[in-house]
Structures are given as C-alpha cells and as structure tokens.
Amino acid sequence: MDNLIHKKETQLQDTKGTSVLTATELVEGWCKAGVKEGMPLMVHSSLSSLGYVEGGANTVVESLRTAVGATGTVVMPAFTPHIADPHPDQVGIPDTTVIKQRAEVPIFDQNLVSSMGSVPEALRKLPDSLRSYHPQASVTAIGAGATDIVDGQSLGFAVGHNSPFGRLHDIGGYILLIGVGHNRNTFLHYAETLTPQPRLKIRRFPLEVDNQRVWVETLDVANDNDTYFPIVGQEFEEQANIHEVMVGDASCRLIPIQPFVSFATRRLTELLSSTPHNK
C-alpha cells in the first residue's frame, strides 16, 4: 500500500506543469507564504498539486523542516480510518461472516501505514519522527516540540482539546495548506468540538486490553462533507486578509491557529444553530 500511494502521487505529478521544483525552491516558497524559523506547523498537503518535485515527498518534508529550523516543529495527520468496524449497523450477536471481517481489522500500532498520502507517509517513516496514539486519528510530528505535541490523545473527541490539535492551538501554532482546501483542515473539526451543538458521530475500533481484542465505541465530531467548512475557511481568509502564495503549481496559505479557531468556533456555532438536524 505504501508503494502504491507513492506511485499514484508520482504519476499525478507528471501530469501537472513542466518545471522541476527543487528543495531550495520549496523552502523559498514556504518562507514567502510566511513560514518562519521556530514555528509549530500543521501541514495539510497534496503532493501532486505542486507539480513535479525533485525527490518527491521526501524533498517536501525536508524543505518544511528546513523552513521551520531546528527550533520549529512539523506536524501532519497520519489518520487510519480503515481501522473501523466494517459492520457499524450490526446489532445483536454477529454471524460468522461479520465475526471474520471484524477480526481482519488491524489493531493500531505506530508503524501502521496511514492513508493520508505520500507527504505524511514520508514524515512518518523518518527515524526521528514521533506519532500520537489514536487508532483512527493519530498525527506525526518532528522537531523541537514533537514530544509535547504527540504526548497523549483522548480516545473520545480525538481532535478536541486533549489532542495534538489542542496543544498546537495552545502554543500558537500555524496551519499550512499546500494545494488543498479547508475541507482538509482538521482544525475546523477542532473548532466544532468547542461549539455548544456539535454534529456527532460514533468512532468504533478494536483495541487490545489485557491480551484480549475488544471493540471500543467513542463519540467525536462528525464529518462535514463540504457543508460548512469551505464557507467558514473562506470567510476567515477574507476577513483576516490571508494571501495565497503559489509554490510550484500549488496554491498555499498560512493560517494562524488561535484567531482561526476563535473565528471558526463563533461562525460554526451560528451555522449549526440554524440547521434542523442539530435541534
């Protein structure tokens, strides 16, 4: 699967643009977008959006590390949504087919491949990177603040205050969107956990407890499905005068987490309070 992700995104790169981006050009691009030495930086990215990058995903990761320097931290989602109940609507005693398919769902471990793409995978595989522990919503981090950021993540509301997202918020981190929109910006989920009436879903995943495989059920904020997040993200960019910077073929924006979350929490509260499904 790891090789397939890299092959797919490399093939997509070949279809965009004709120039070759080097590590030096990427660093210049991140700095132009506003990335500075010492920043704690959450990165949501699309490798293919950049065009052809010399060295691929590894070069992107190294360029980000160079841009934030030795005192900065690079963080990326390393989600594993496939660690989930294949029969979430099953009630009662399961039949043999359901039992078998549930048994095939892997138990999370920190070496498990993520489905978030080549760039997060390149970061995850670095020997000095660290990963938080959540069966479905882990993050990978590297740099000066990595230990504190990944240390502890609640099973319920995995993107809420007691999570790497909460810590990045509290220390005044930044979000870098590389060729992706706010439908990929997990801090909108974080903001929704702070609203009075968040949309909810059930996470269900296996864990090993006392040498036994058990299924754990927890609450978290639900998927937005492009309903409000793109609207709220665009509104914030307009009022905060966030400027788009092109790095290669990719539209990139650097967003300060604390003012963004404050705005998004207020705006999502307004939007969610007016929707029938939330009453």
Looking at residue 276, what is its pLDDT? 65
The mean pLDDT of 23-28, rounded to a whole number, is 98
Give Cβ neighbours of residue 91 (< 8 Å, ≥ 6 apart). Answer: none
Looking at residue 275, what is its pLDDT? 74
- What distance in Å separates the CA atoms of residue 279 and residue 273, rounded to the nearest whole number? 7
Looking at residue 91, what is its pLDDT? 86
CB 32 within 8 A of CB 246: no
Give the CA count within 13 Å in the CB-facing half-sphere of 12: 16
Give Cβ neighbours of residue 118 (< 8 Å, ≥ 6 apart). Answer: 5, 6, 9, 10, 47, 56, 57
Could you report the per-residue pLDDT of 81-127, keeping only the tens digit for each? 999 999 998 888 999 999 999 999 999 998 999 999 999 999 999 99
Could you report the per-residue pLDDT of 128-169, keeping only the tens digit for each? 999 999 999 999 999 999 999 999 999 999 999 999 999 999
Phi, psi of 102 (to 5 degrees): -65, -35
CB 204 within 8 A of CB 85: yes
The mean pLDDT of 202-218, rounded to a whole number, is 95
What letter would DSSP give residue 106? P
pLDDT for 17 beyond 50:
no
The mean pLDDT of 176-198, rounded to a whole number, is 97
Distances (CA, A) of 259 to 57, 107, 187, 262: 30, 37, 11, 5
Report the run of H or E that residue 33 belongs to, with start and end.
Answer: helix 23-33
Q: Which pLDDT band holds residue 274 (cuts at 50, 70, 90)? A: confident
Q: Which pLDDT band holds residue 278 (cuts at 50, 70, 90)? A: very low
pLDDT for 75 beyond 90:
yes
Structural domain boundaries of the chain? 2-278
Phi, psi of 35 (to 5 degrees): -65, 135
Looking at residue 18, what is its pLDDT? 54
The mean pLDDT of 68-78, rounded to a whole number, is 98
Helix, strand, coil % in the chain, rounded to nearest 5: 40, 20, 40
Cα torsion angle, 234, 251, 140, 10, sign: positive
Q: What percent of the chain has pLDDT over 70?
A: 92
The mean pLDDT of 15-41, rounded to a whole number, is 89
CB 113 within 8 A of CB 4: no
Q: Which two tokens stand for residue 57?
A: 């995903």
CB 160 within 8 A of CB 193: yes
Phi, psi of 114 (to 5 degrees): -90, 160
pTM above 0.85, yes or no: yes
Q: Which pLDDT band holds residue 37 (cuts at 50, 70, 90)? A: very high
Sequential DSSP letters for 64-91: HHHHH-TT-EEEEE---TTSS-S-TT--
